[in-house]
Every structure is written in C-alpha cells, then in structure tokens.
A and B are shown apart, each in its own frame.
Chain A
Amino acid sequence: MLVLPAVVILGTFFFYPMIYALVLSFFSWNLLGAKTFVGFANYAFLFSDPEFRRALWNTVYFTVFNLAGTFVLSLGVALLVTRESWGYRIFRTVSLMPLVIPMVITGIIWGLLLEPTGVINVVLDLVGIEGKEWLYNSKWAMPAIILVSIWHSFGLYILLFVAGLQTIPDELYEAASIDGAGRWKSFRHITLPMLKPTTFFVLTLLLINSFKAFDTIWVMTQGGPGNSTTTLVVYMYQKIFTSVGDATAASIVLFLIIFVLVLFQYSLMGREEKYS
C-alpha cells in the first residue's frame, strides 16, 4: 500500500515513456498525422544526417574540454585545501553558488559577460588581448560555452575531491615522510592511488553531465551560430515538434551512450573493489 503511489507515478512517468520512446523510434510521425512503421529508418537517417553527426561531434568536443578543464581545476584546487578552515568554508559557499542558481540564469549572466562590449572583453583588453565576438562567432561560441559549463559546476567537483582526500589517513603520509619520500613521491604513491575511487566517480559524473548539456546552451546560443553549439540534446529538442521518430531515436541513442558510460563506471569500480 505504501509503495503503490510511488510505483504508479514512476511507472507512468518513467517506465512507460521509456518503452514508448523505444517503440516510437521505429515509427515515422509528426505528432498530428498517422504513425507509420519504418523499422530502423530513423536511426539510419540520424547517422546519415550531417546535422546529427555535427551534434554528435559537438557533444564530444564539449565533453572532452569540459571534462579536462573541470577535472584539472577542481583537483588542483582540492589538493591545496588541507584543512577545513574558515577560509575554505567561505570558498566552498562561493564556489557552490553557480551550481544552485537556475541554469537559465547562468546562461543569461554569461551571455551578458560575453557580449562583444561585455566584461570579459574589457578584462581581456586590460591584459592586451583582443576581444572576441564569443557567442556570435562559430569558432568561439563553443569554447565560451565550455567556460560557462566549468564555472557552473566546478564547486561540486572540488567538494567531491576534498571529501575523497579527507578519507586518506594521515599515517600514510607520516610513514612516507619518515621513509624519506618527498612531496611529489607522496602524491604519486599515496594520494593518487588512494583517490582513485573518487576520480572514477568524478570522471563518470562529468561524462554523463557533459552529454546532457542543454539549458545554458539553449539560452545563450540556441545551438548557433550555424549549428556550432548544437549538442545531442539541443538537436533532440529541435526535432521534437517536427519529427517525433527522429527525436525519440536520438533520445534512445543518448540513453545508450549514458547507459554504456554507467556500465563502464561500474565495471571499473567493481575491479577496484576486487583488487583492494
């Protein structure tokens, strides 16, 4: 009795749509007319559609740099935090502020900062770098969006890394320093191996979240200029009212990618546990 409402709601709004999406991805439909069974034609269309391939490429581009940038920044900062001092607590609060505000607002604030006469270009000008037309330029729009994405979530990853670092016992470092290990050796042989579970977790999260990127992109560029920032989800969103079959097929592809990433994480984690 107690689980019934939950089961009904989750069934109606999670499981049923999932199955329904799978079914619809084999049909051609524009929301109004009749549905026609087309087999794998939607999938075949996706992979022959240059826009979809562009979206896939953009998603990979975004993912690689978002992942690398966020990872280096958050691990680097986390390594500098050794104690939960008041300074760190203030820093933690400030660094999490971007994460809690609606992503639409993130997109708006940065849209303003990245305007050709906006603050970013003013600052660049101060250090002698020529400003760019960030969001209006198909070459610079994606790097700008990656910067915004890093800003949005690096606080979370610092939090995760600091938590991971705190689980490493002090005794290990003490023992290492008695044995004459320097800072680099301690890092290489204690910190990195001990931090492995956190690192895997962070990398998987970053991967999944990168593949989901949508809100800020939609507000800042709507996929433009000229498809240069159209990611998988943006592509799907644009297709929903014109071609349900293609949109659902795209969502199934997205699901499969995320599913594989999660399986990959579990298998890595599983192996870790077996060894330790």
Chain B
Amino acid sequence: MTLRKRGVGMRIFSAAVLLLVGFFAFFPFYIMFKSSFETSAEILGHPFTLLPEDGFKWVNYVTIFSQYPILRWLTNSFFVSFVVILGNLVFSTCAAYALARLEFKGRNLIFVAVISMLILPIQVLVVPLYLVVSQFGWTNNLIALIAPNLVSPFAIFLLRQAFISIPKELDQAAVIDGCSRLGVLVRIIVPNALPSLATVMVIKFMWTWGDFMWPSLVLTSSQLKTLPVGIATFAVSPSLTMWDLVITASVIGALPILILFFVLQQYFVRGLMQGAVKG
C-alpha cells in the first residue's frame, strides 16, 4: 500500500473529485430508475424534476409485463445464461484441468490456440459464425446462442491458472489413495478452485446476459429474443422511441446483473481485471 503523506487540502480535493466522478457514474442510473415511474410526456417534459411529478407510478411496469413478451425475453435470457454457465463449468473445467495437469501430444498447441482466441473479439467472427450457424440450420434457434459459448477461451485460461497454483502433492496423495484422474478433478482440483469457478460464473453471466450483436443477428422471431435484443426493438428509430417502455424494460434488464454485481463484487472485480481483454 502506498501510504504517501498528504495534507488536509489534498485529501479534501481527492474526496471532492471522487464524489464528482462517482456522481457522473451514478446519475444516469438514477435517471433511468426515476423515468421508469413517469409517463412518456413527463420523462422529457419541462421543467425537469428530480422526482416523478405525481409520485411513483407502476403503470409502465404493468404495461410492459402485460402487453409485451418481456417475461418470455427474460426467460430466454436466463435460460441461455444458465446453460452457457453450466457448459463452461463442465467443458472449460475439463479442458483447463487437462492443460494444467496432463501430459499429452498437442497440449502446448492447444494452449497457444486458446491464448490467441482470447484476444479475438466476437466482432471479427460474427460474419463467418453466422454462416456456420446457418449451415447447421440453427438461425432463429436459441441453440445458436448456446453452442458457440459452451466453452470459452477466457474460462479455460482463468481456470488453468488457478489449477496450476494448486500443489501437485495433493493430486499425488489422492492417486495413492486410489483416486482416478476424474476423481482427482472432482475431489481435489474443483474444491480448491471455487473462487475462480465463481469468477467464471459471474463473468460469463454478465457477458451472456448483455450480449447483443450476435443474438440480434441470429434471432428474428419475437418469441425467441433475449432481453437486450427485445429491448432494442423498442428503440428502433430514435424519433419514435417509446421512452416510458424502453426505460422500464432497461430497469428490468439491468436489475438482475446489478444485484449479482453487488452481492458477488469480489468475483466480478477479479474477473473484470483478468478478462479485461474481452470487456
């Protein structure tokens, strides 16, 4: 820790700047929450008020749940995120274990490939990936969102680093006690790498939950949309935006990830720093 001595003036200045920048970060969220309780006319009306003019009205939430398939979009988003996380916990863990502990031909090659894919953004792959998925006949099917994400270079990389730091003696002791390779993975490696697994879970959830470009390309049916894609359809042409509904849908889309973030912050912070390339 860098404990540099500072005068009172400097400390007040620092606090003021942090407060100001923090306000810059937070204010848009406040406007989002506040606007979700207002009518379209009030949201952009004059004069600007810090609180909804006629108190907090839930009418936007009622409208959006009763007249739009937002529940369906939420379900799709949760379903896709759940399967993707599950897939990564199984497949990425297995791959990371093999890369960290087993000797086999092509191991280094696979590891180098994983590293190089880590830096490859989805934006570069999206065109050919679309063609591959349409060859499989998966367009307009949730499997198009799930299959390519069941394994992620980020998860393999992060888990491999975590597995390597577990002492090999633990494995050897377990093998002597009659444990198989899979037994070592389940009984020794996984229990010792729980924080990293949690990091993979929250970061994968964040990415899958917020993913837009890819789902917006492959999904066309309204019933199959994930939440970000569904929300974006409200906002198609800027001049006709139904702000009351869009902003309410945004609150609904932001809340699950924000709550998860508040609860599991340490895992987010670790994951954000390690997966910064993808962010």
Query: Is A219 positioned at the interface, with any CB of B under 8 Å from its CB?
Result: yes
Which of A97, A117, A156, A236 contacts B26, CB < 8 Å? A97
Could you tell me the distance between the alpha carbons of A254 and B121 in the complex, rounded to whole angstroms? 10
Contacts of A247 in B (CB 8 A): 127
- Say whether, besides A77-B18, A94-B25, A251 and B124 are in contact (CB < 8 Å): yes
A60 CB, nearest partner CB in chain B, Å:
16
Instruction: Bin the interface of chain A by size.
Output: 35 or more
- In the bound complex, what is the Cα–Cα distance between A9 and B113 (angstroms)? 13
Contact with A along B251-276 (1 / 0, CB 8 A): 00110011001100100110011001
**In the complex, which residues of chain B have a beta carbon less than 8 angstroms from the beta carbon of A154?**
21, 25
Q: Is the CB of B97 within 8 A of A109?
A: no
**Among A16-24, A36-44, A47-55, A62-70, which stretch is in contact with chain B?**
A16-24
Interface size on B, residues (CB 8 A): 92
Asked whether B235 lies within 8 Å of A84 as measured between CB atoms, the reply is no
Interface flag for A105 (CB, 8 Å): yes
With most chain A CB atoms within 10 A of its CB, the pick from B15, B125, B147, B206 is: B125
The total of Cβ contacts below 8 Å across the A-B interface reads: 269
Whether A115 pairs with B128 at a CB distance below 8 angstroms is no
* Chain A residues whose C-beta falls within 8 Å of the C-beta of B262 in the assembled complex: 93
Interface on chain B toward A: helix, strand, loop, or mixed SS? helix
Partner of A102, one of B90, B91, B95, B210: B210
- Minimal Cβ-Cβ distance residue in A for B252: A105
Q: How far is the CB of A13 from chain B (nearest CB, A)?
A: 4
Which B residues lie within 8 Å of A142 (CB)?
none
Find out whether the CB atom of A18 lies under 8 angstroms from the CB atom of B128. Answer: yes
Task: Tell me the bound Cα distance from A232 to B199 in angstroms.
Answer: 32
B212 touches A233 (CB 8 A): no
Rounded to whole Å, the gap between the CB of B159 and the closest CB of chain A is 11
In the complex, which residues of chain A have a beta carbon less than 8 angstroms from the beta carbon of B238?
A: 111, 135-136, 220-221
Partner among B14, B119, B132 whose Cβ is within 8 Å of the Cβ of A17: B132
Which residues of A sit under 8 angstroms from B147, Cβ to Cβ?
Answer: 9, 13
| Alpha-carbon distance between A38 and B228 when the two chains are bound, in angstroms | 38
Q: Chain A residues in contact with chain B, CB under 8 A?
A: 2-3, 5-7, 9-10, 12-18, 20-21, 24, 73, 76-77, 80-84, 87-88, 90-105, 107-113, 115, 117-119, 122, 135-136, 151, 153-156, 159-160, 163, 165-166, 168, 170, 173, 205, 208-209, 212, 214-215, 218-221, 233, 236-237, 240, 244, 247-248, 251, 254-255, 258, 262
Of all A-B residue pairs in the complex, the 9 with the closest CB atoms, nearest first, are A102-B210, A6-B95, A17-B128, A13-B148, A21-B128, A80-B14, A104-B228, A2-B94, A2-B98
18 A-B Cβ contacts within 8 A? A2-B94, A9-B91, A14-B125, A18-B120, A93-B262, A99-B279, A104-B232, A105-B231, A108-B231, A109-B31, A118-B44, A119-B27, A119-B48, A159-B273, A214-B123, A219-B232, A221-B238, A240-B130
